[in-house]
């Protein structure tokens, strides 16, 4: 069996909150760019800092959901302090970016030169972004969330009213 060092390594990054068909398309597109796909899951604190809100699913849940797809050969959490450490350590041949990924990518080419890493940067195409975009899905989820049910409080209130009637 070939080891990852002998294979063309592709690296993809993302939050992958509310894993959807757009994420699946992104990972499948990345997979065909090489022999070994490594997916880096954004840490909770990184997501909070970049997006201004915490993810709906914590980093371990998001890691598990990407692993469960079976698309990636390796799925790991990003580093907390040095966002580029993963590049230094795993040295990919290709970096696959989503059509809307711009955070940490502005300096990517310079970082690759500094690391003496000859990796191709490939921006992938979106899959129905008007439907499958996490921010839209989250917005729809929040708008369609039913009102919290207070059945327990209503039952308690009903019991209290019955007790008050009995006492009077």
Has 64 been annotated as catalytic? Answer: no
Cα–Cα distance, 124 to 24 (Å, whole number): 12
129 touches 100 (CB < 8 A): yes
Task: Work out the number of other CB atoms within 10 angstroms of the CB of residue 23.
Answer: 24
Measured CA to CA, the distance from residue 14 to residue 96 in angstroms comes to 10
Q: Which of 8, 9, 31, 51 is catalytic?
A: 51
Tell me phi and psi for residue 33, to 5 degrees: -80, -10
Task: Give the pairing type, strands 120-123 and 36-41.
Answer: unpaired
Q: Which of 8, 9, 49, 165 is catalytic?
A: 49
Residue 51 catalytic?
yes
Strand 74-77, strand 120-123: pairing: unpaired
Catalytic residues: 49, 51
């Amino acid at each position: 069996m070939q080891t990852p060092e002998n294979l063309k390594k592709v690296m993809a990054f993302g939050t992958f909150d509310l894993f959807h068909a757009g994420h699946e398309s992104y990972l499948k597109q990345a997979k065909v760019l090489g022999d070994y796909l490594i997916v880096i899951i954004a840490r909770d604190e990184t997501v909070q800092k970049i997006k201004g809100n915490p993810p709906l699913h914590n980093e371990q849940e998001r890691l598990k959901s990407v692993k469960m797809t079976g698309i990636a050969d390796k799925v790991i959490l990003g580093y907390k302090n040095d966002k580029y450490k993963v590049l230094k350590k795993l040295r990919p041949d290709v970096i696959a970016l989503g059509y809307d990924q711009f955070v940490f990518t502005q300096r990517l080419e310079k970082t690759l030169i500094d690391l003496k890493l000859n990796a191709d940067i490939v921006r992938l195409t979106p899959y129905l972004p008007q439907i499958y975009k996490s921010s839209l899905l989250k917005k729809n989820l929040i708008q369609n969330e039913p009102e919290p049910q207070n059945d327990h409080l209503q039952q308690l209130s009903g019991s209290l009213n019955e007790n008050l009637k009995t006492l009077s």
